Amino acid sequence: MALLSQLLNTLLQTLLDLIPIIAIIFGFQIIVLRQKIANFKNILLGLFYVLLGLGFFLVGLEKALFPLGKLMATQLTDPAFIYSGLKSIPITLHWADYIWVYLFAAAIGFSTTIAEPSLIAVAIKANSVSGGTIGVWGLRVAVAIGVAAGISLGTFRIVTGTPLHYYIIAGYIIVIIQTMRAPKMIIPLAYDSGGVTTSTVTVPLVAALGLGLAGTVPGRSVIIDGFGLIAFASLFPMITVMGYAQLSEWRYKKSQKVTNDKENN
Amino acid sequence: MENLLNRLLVNIARTLLNSAKDLLPIIVVIAFFQLVILKQPIPNWEDILIGTLFVVIGLALFINGLQVALFPIGENIAYAFAKKGSIVWLLIFAFALGFGTTIAEPALIAVSAEAAKVAASAGLISDLVDARDSYAYGLRITVAFSVGLAILIGVIRIIKGWPLQYLIIGGYVGVVIMTAFAPKEIIGIAYDSGGVTTSTVTVPLVTALGVGLASSIRGRNPMIDGFGLIALASLTPMIFVMAYGMVVH
């Protein structure tokens, strides 16, 4: 019964979230563009799917993934766990003692990004627009690797207490250099993938990890160090998606060269 | 009739299976860390099982709705505006869509409230309910305005065919300069606010809008010109939230 009321509550919340968006779009379509909405029945049915889908999705996350993920984030960052892996109790913890935190950050970043609905949406769109050149899974894995690397580095930053903007600025410089060299087609998509990664699934877990870590590492402030992981998660996918395109291009050129050489012989 | 039902069932089974595949990495990661690293049993078995099932069903339904509703809605409105040819209305629409979808965004409401608490405990604003509420509200308006502006600029960019990288890199330079001057406490929140603005419903709609516009305007390439709205919408909030921090603090 509690489950049902939770589901209804979430559905209502999602509906309230959906209404302004739909009102703006249909309002403009009917009043400004004076157009009938094509396939209105289908669209309504589809919106109902979206509503129901998001409702189930969010309740499921609340019930299964978030409590366990958050609990694990606190347990892994707990000094008691970190000391248990060491032979003697040192006076100060070395950054390398947090190895499981970095690995967990990378693993959870990768896996939540694979399940991120907005990334699936963008990947489907990119696949159809590019005529199949960009694979749905290829893009998703490239983005997920970026998020994994970003969040892992982000937890390392919290542990070492180095300033956030050094990392972000260095990342921007890499992005600029890649932008000059990567195939033109991929650039807008790569930039977009930075924004879509941080959504429903990833943010709550990553925020829990960041705040947990900033709260337990000595000398860190939750205010200054707890935030900022999301920024890492938005920056690194740009690098990996452009890298993915650069790698595909390089391999294509190489295979072209091999076939050319063969033909010449 | 039976044939149709069979096809429907196969279809449902396939979408569910795909969603299960999307979710598999998370299940593996959590099980591994819980059982092998932390050496603890999985608590509340039933809850976790039901929850996971819900996530799978929800994802399958959402992906279906995406294809049936969200993509067509975004594309149709793009074609309709391109046919009407009124740039002014298109720009008003772009701003309204960005502002309207962001102002009600639950993630943003949560982050603003959190930011107000942080600002109050750092002594930047007085720690009264009124002061915190107005700070949080101001932050929400700021972010929503910046997203509206981002979609508006993004649509102008699609129409004109400007390369995205100049806008984005220019924006980054802006972020870097602002970081040097903004109060330290707001920087983390500002950087994070770029990420929370793009919700699960907004992303497919805005992507379909951009791609639809780029494919209906002659000389534009949907791949090069169609994407990029999300990137702009994640960038402007960083600049505006830091500006907000500088003005208010």
Is pLDDT above 90 for B85? no
pLDDT digits (tens, 9 = 90+) for B223-248: 999 999 999 998 999 999 999 988 88
Residues of A with CB below 8 A from B80's CB?
29, 33, 35
User: How many CB atoms within 10 Å of residue A264?
Assistant: 6
Residues of A with CB below 8 A from B56's CB?
60
> CA A191 to CA A182: how far, in whole Å?
12
Per-residue pLDDT averaged across B40-66, rounded? Answer: 89
Tell me the shortest Cα–Cα distance from A254 to chain B, in angstroms.
25
> CA A136 to CA A133: how far, in whole Å?
9
Lowest mean pLDDT among A12-26, A191-205, B53-67, B93-107: A191-205
pLDDT of residue B102: 87
Backbone angles phi, psi at A133, to 5 degrees: -60, -40
pLDDT of residue B30: 86
Is pLDDT above 80 for B217? yes
Residue B44 — pLDDT band, cuts 50, 70, 90? confident
pLDDT of residue A93: 66
Per-residue pLDDT averaged across B65-85, rounded? Answer: 90
* B110 or A235, higher pLDDT: A235
Q: Which amino acid is at A95?
A: W
Tell me the shortest Cα–Cα distance from B136 to chain A, in angstroms.
16
> CA A257 to CA B142: how far, in whole Å?
53
Could you tell me how far CA A240 lies from the centroid of its own chain? 12
ipTM of the complex in this document: 0.87
Residues of B with CB below 8 A from A53's CB?
57-65
| Interface probe with A: pick from B200, B206, B229, most Cβ of A within 10 Å | B200
> CA A227 to CA A220: how far, in whole Å?
11
CB of B229 within 8 Å of a chain A CB? The answer is yes
Residue among B30, B56, B196 whose CB faces A68 most closely: B30
Residues of A with CB below 8 A from B29's CB?
104, 107-108, 110-111
> CA A251 to CA A255: how far, in whole Å?
6
Predicted TM-score (pTM) of this structure: 0.88
Residue among B44, B104, B169 whose CB faces A17 most closely: B104
Per-residue pLDDT averaged across B155-167, rounded? Answer: 94
Give the chain A residue whose CA is nearest to the CA of B55.
A57
B residues 55..84 contacting A (CB < 8 A): 55-73, 76-77, 80-81, 84
Q: Please list, in sequence order, all residues whose beta carbon lies within 8 angstroms of the beta carbon of residue A96, skipping any fewer than 6 positions away.
A: none
Lowest mean pLDDT among A125-139, B15-29, B37-51: B37-51
Asked if residues B138 and B158 have their Cβ atoms less than 8 Å apart, the reply is no
pLDDT digits (tens, 9 = 90+) for B5-18: 787 788 778 888 98
pLDDT of residue A239: 96
CB of B102 within 8 Å of a chain A CB? The answer is no
Stretches where chain A sits below pLDDT 50 are none
Q: Please list, in sequence order, all residues whose beta carbon lies within 8 angstroms of the beta carbon of residue B105, skipping any fewer than 6 positions away.
A: A17, B196, B197, B199, B202
pLDDT of residue A91: 59
Per-residue pLDDT averaged across B180-209, rounded? Answer: 82
* B190 or B1, higher pLDDT: B190
* B158 or B3, higher pLDDT: B158
Asked if residues A101 and A76 have their Cβ atoms less than 8 Å apart, the reply is yes
Q: Which tokens is B231 given? A: 């990137």
Residue B74 — pLDDT band, cuts 50, 70, 90? very high
pLDDT of residue A265: 61
Residue among B28, B192, B211 whose CB faces A125 most closely: B211
Please report, for chain A, how many H helices and E strands are present, in that order.
Answer: 12, 0
Backbone angles phi, psi at B217, to 5 degrees: -100, 130
Is pLDDT above 80 for B80? yes
Q: Which CA distances in Å does B78 have to A124, B65, B89, B135, B213?
A: 19, 19, 12, 36, 5
Percentages helix, strand, coil for chain A (3-state, rounded to 5) are 85, 0, 15
Distance, first Cα to last Cα, chain A: 75
Specify the DSSP element, H or E, that contains B65: helix B45-65
Q: The dihedral of CA A157, A163, A165, A167: what is its sign?
A: negative
Q: Which amino acid is at B207?
A: T
> CA B216 to CA B206: how far, in whole Å?
15
Per-residue pLDDT averaged across B54-61, rounded? Answer: 93
